[in-house]
Amino acid sequence: MSQFSAPIAEQIWDMKYRLKSADGEALDGTVSDSWRRVARALAKVEDTPKEWEDKFYSALEDFKFLPAGRILAGAGTDRSVTLFNCFVMGTIPDSMGGIFEMLKEAALTMQQGGGIGYDFSTIRPKGALVEGVAADASGPLSFMDVWDAMCRTIMSAGSRRGAMMATMRCDHPDIEDFIVAKQDAARLRMFNLSVLITDPFMEAVKSGGDWELKFNGRVYKTVKALDLWNKIMQSTYDFAEPGVIFIDRINTKNNLHYAETIAATNPCGEQPLPPYGACLLGSINMARLIEAPFDAAAKLNLDALDDLVRTAVRMMDNVVDASKFPLDAQRGEAKAKRRIGLGVTGLADALLMVGLRYGSEEAAAQTEAWMKQIARSAYLGSADLAAEKGAFPLFDREAFLASETMQEMDEDVRAAIGEKGIRNALLTSIAPTGTISLYAGNVSSGIEPVFAYSYKRKVLQKDGSRTEEEVVDYAVDLWREKFGDRAFPESFVNAQTLAPLDHVRMQAAAQKWIDSSISKTINCPEDISFEDFKEVYMAAWDQGCKGCTTYRPNDVTGSVLSVSEESEKTPEIDTGADVVYLAEPLNRPEALDGMTYKIKWPENEHAIYITINDVISNGERRPFEVFINSKNMEHYAWTLALTRMVSAVFRRGGDVSFVVEELKAVFDPRGGAWVRGKYIPSILAAIGSVIEQHMVAIGFIEGEGQYLKADPEATVVQMGGNAGGKSCPSCGTPGMRMVEGCMTCASCGHSKCG
């Protein structure tokens, strides 16, 4: 009997977490083998490894504790990958040499699979004097463009591109440009953006006061704080970015307030980290701990929760010693503070099982109580670990207990830490768990509400056939098993029906007992007024949240995937194949219309000629095949290969505009060239630009830099007409949605944030 509750869960394990040899042979025979591999690897640092291996295995069994994907996939293997999920890089020096040294470190981190965060507030503003070279500074946004190009090129471990977070202080002179930077559809596509909001700024917003934009003590401009706040709100209302991070609150409540200053977060925002800070993640599956679900006596087993949390803390602490790190500075930072991020998933399902409506005052109170129990168990367990193995090296008893977070802890917890010390400086965080939650039986993700009760998805079978499976929410599936087709009670709500302030209430309730932060998306209806939208952010501030991320569907960001209990459909996607086809290949007519373009690349003896032929399908003209020719024989092999590959993609139909993006992102390490006043990073990028020019000319896309598959603001042009919603850059399905601060595909699970 399979231990998976649905075929899609087994497929996720097989594709992402199952250990395989280089030639694809499965080394983990079952998911139990994967659990055993991880348990054994994390128990090796113990004095009695066999005893702890069995204890760790028991925690993993039945999907009760869910280490983050990097741990599941990497622990107990010989792969040179980090088991840590989150990195904030070093402080960027305000010098050319220092900036590019930071770029190098970022590339090395992404190469091992880490998502990174950066604070760009340390770079002097655009137009500032650069001493010694008689020039003006280009400003932080110009260097963000460099980072963006690097991220497009480096493939992170697991074949996912790295995700990045860029932050900027609300008093930086370039903050107004930062706020609107991603309104350019072709710019900074690999970044999430957030503004670092300070307490004095919020006070000025509420009082209507002035606000100085300054750098290194020099005031460049004075604005009205409320005007700047409204610019942030308007951009977020229209474009879903930037987010806001209440940075002073983060630093004040930080257990390590005496040893570090935080100015950036990881890509999804749940881990505020200092320079070179790193954190690993894991989640308690709340849905698996509910006894007698949907009965009057339904409750969460607190004894089981306590034991599981303590075991999870020990496992994650061992990861600090078992993991590799891209940089020595990251290893040193991790071992000096032994920071972990234990969170939850399946919270909304657990609330459903005990009869509480997500977003209600009762559900918020229960969430706060559960989070407090997790915090107590985590801190007491870490104190016991300190008595056994020693406190983290930078532990300062008096300063640690003086932090705001510790001041709010129960006295017995404070006393235990005062007596024994504590092994881990910070312990709790609520991270995005989209893929992990699906692997665990499609439990609700993180502390998010249930997004959809069910939807249809194509699953690749081992014999190569495809079957359509219904993916059902975990709690909904239990309800059906117990009550059949009986109507859902009023407590069953989903993300589409919740009021935005109900989301805020739940985030604030959980945040009270989370010492790091929370990845959470507050879904807003498309027709919410701008004033009501701003109220969401002010409520998040007033209720003690450390940040706020919203998602409002609109013409720019697209619509959230529409689902229902009776008919929840997504396009047929083969998510198990290396190449995803949206349709059968188009037939080639006898004659095709086309255009030929000439590229003269500097220092090349011969020009390159590109012919693009089109086909008419459903009344629309679309690219069908490409021919690339050059008399330079050094180009023969790669131009022939490119001709065949791009033509094969075009003939499959669907949204093929991603070909432009992929080609334009390629840079030549020997340097690019200036062509007609524009820098082109490689010959391949030049070919991509020609294909883009052709697509615009025939009306397949609307303009340069528009409607590319990795563009979160894109609306895809599909075969047979326009399809609403954004397209997934992995499988091409329309209907990307914001989950826990990151655009996520409901069909294949792809997430920009890894």
pLDDT tens digits for 197-246? Answer: 999 999 999 999 999 999 999 999 999 999 999 999 999 999 989 999 99
For the record, the structure tokens of 11 come out as 């497929």
Torsion of CA 553, 693, 162, 672, to 10 degrees: -150
The predicted pLDDT at position 476 comes to: 94
Residue type, 256: L
In a domain, 333, yes or no: no
Residue type, 732: G
Nearest Cα to Cα of residue 85 among 269, 243, 246, 249: 269
Residue type, 61: E
The predicted pLDDT at position 571 comes to: 32
Which range marks the domain in which residue 598 is found? 593-729
Dihedral of alpha carbons 306, 308, 310, 312, sign = negative
d(CA 662, CA 204): 44
In a domain, 597, yes or no: yes
Residue type, 347: L
Q: Which residue has the tokens 């397949």?
A: 700
In a domain, 572, yes or no: no
For the record, the structure tokens of 172 come out as 């930086």
The predicted pLDDT at position 735 comes to: 59
Q: Which residue has the tokens 């615009």?
A: 696
Cis peptide before 93 (omega within 30 of 0): no
How many domains are there within the chain? 2
Residue 262 CA to its chain's centroid (Å): 20
In a domain, 737, yes or no: no
Percentage, residues of the chain above pLDDT 90: 58
CA 389 vs CA 47, 83, 323, 382, 421: distances in Å: 11, 21, 18, 10, 10
For the record, the structure tokens of 490 come out as 């009023």
The predicted pLDDT at position 708 comes to: 41
The predicted pLDDT at position 214 comes to: 97
The predicted pLDDT at position 558 comes to: 52
Q: Kindly calculate the radius of gyration of the chain based on its CA atoms and give it in whole angstroms.
A: 26
d(CA 175, CA 196): 10
pLDDT per residue as tens digits for the range 552-579: 886 555 544 444 344 333 333 333 333 3
The predicted pLDDT at position 565 comes to: 40
* Contact between 752 and 743 (Cβ < 8 Å): yes
The predicted pLDDT at position 329 comes to: 95
Show the 3-state SS of 48-92: CHHHHHHHHHHHHHHHCEEECHHHHHHCCCCCCCECCCEEECCCC
Would residue 545 show up in a list of annotated catalytic residues for this protein? Answer: no
* Contact between 406 and 268 (Cβ < 8 Å): no
Strand-pair category, 737-739 with 673-675:
unpaired
Q: Range with the lowest mean pLDDT among 10-14, 139-143, 288-292, 373-377?
A: 10-14
The predicted pLDDT at position 462 comes to: 57
Would residue 268 show up in a list of annotated catalytic residues for this protein? Answer: yes
Strand-pair category, 86-88 with 278-285:
antiparallel
* Contact between 573 and 645 (Cβ < 8 Å): no
Would residue 753 show up in a list of annotated catalytic residues for this protein? Answer: no
Residue 706 Ramachandran class (φ > 0 left, ψ -120 to 50 alpha, else beta): beta
- Reported in sequence order, the residue ranges of 439-575 that DSSP labels E, i.e. its strands, are 454-460, 466-472, 522-523, 547-548, 550-551
d(CA 116, CA 163): 7
d(CA 32, CA 604): 57
Question: Going by C-beta distance under 8 Å and a sequence separation of 6 or more, which residues neighbour residue 454?
Answer: 470, 471, 472, 473, 476, 563, 565, 568
> Higher-confidence residue: 133 or 484?
484
User: Of these residues, 86, 170, 268, 753, which one is catalytic?
Assistant: 268
Supply the pTM of this predicted model: 0.77
* Contact between 181 and 141 (Cβ < 8 Å): yes
Q: What phi and psi values does residue 192 have, to the nearest 5 degrees?
A: -95, 145
The predicted pLDDT at position 616 comes to: 83
Quick count: other Cβ atoms within 10 Å of Cβ 530?
Answer: 12
Nearest Cα to Cα of residue 60 among 38, 82, 84, 28: 38
Nearest Cα to Cα of residue 625 among 608, 595, 646, 610: 646
How many residues are listed for the chain in this entry?
A: 754
* Contact between 616 and 686 (Cβ < 8 Å): no
Percentage, residues of the chain above pLDDT 70: 84
Dihedral of alpha carbons 585, 590, 595, 596, sign = positive
Question: Going by C-beta distance under 8 Å and a sequence separation of 6 or more, which residues neighbour residue 209?
Answer: 203, 224, 225
pLDDT per residue as tens digits for the range 269-316: 999 999 999 989 999 999 999 999 999 999 999 999 999 999 999 999
Which of 253, 286, 312 represents a domain boundary (last residue)? 253
At residue 508, does pLDDT exceed 60? yes
pLDDT per residue as tens digits for the range 331-359: 999 999 999 999 999 999 999 999 999 99
Q: What phi and psi values does residue 515 have, to the nearest 5 degrees?
A: -80, -20
* Contact between 551 and 738 (Cβ < 8 Å): yes
In a domain, 451, yes or no: no
At residue 388, does pLDDT exceed 50? yes
The predicted pLDDT at position 497 comes to: 84
The predicted pLDDT at position 737 comes to: 67
Nearest Cα to Cα of residue 139 among 148, 128, 150, 131: 128
Q: What phi and psi values does residue 400 have, to the nearest 5 degrees?
A: -60, -45
The predicted pLDDT at position 573 comes to: 33
In a domain, 573, yes or no: no
User: Of these residues, 53, 270, 568, 740, which one is catalytic?
Assistant: 270
At residue 185, does pLDDT exceed 80? no
The SS3 of residue 534 is: helix
For the record, the structure tokens of 466 come out as 């495809």
In a domain, 335, yes or no: no
pLDDT per residue as tens digits for the range 94-117: 998 999 999 999 888 887 766 799
> Higher-confidence residue: 723 or 690?
690
In a domain, 420, yes or no: no
d(CA 309, CA 51): 18
Helix locations, 390-499, DSSP H:
397-401, 404-407, 411-420, 434-439, 474-483
The predicted pLDDT at position 657 comes to: 81
**Residue 156 confidence class, pLDDT cut points 50, 70, 90:** very low
Average pLDDT over residues 66-80: 91
Quick count: other Cβ atoms within 10 Å of Cβ 548?
Answer: 26
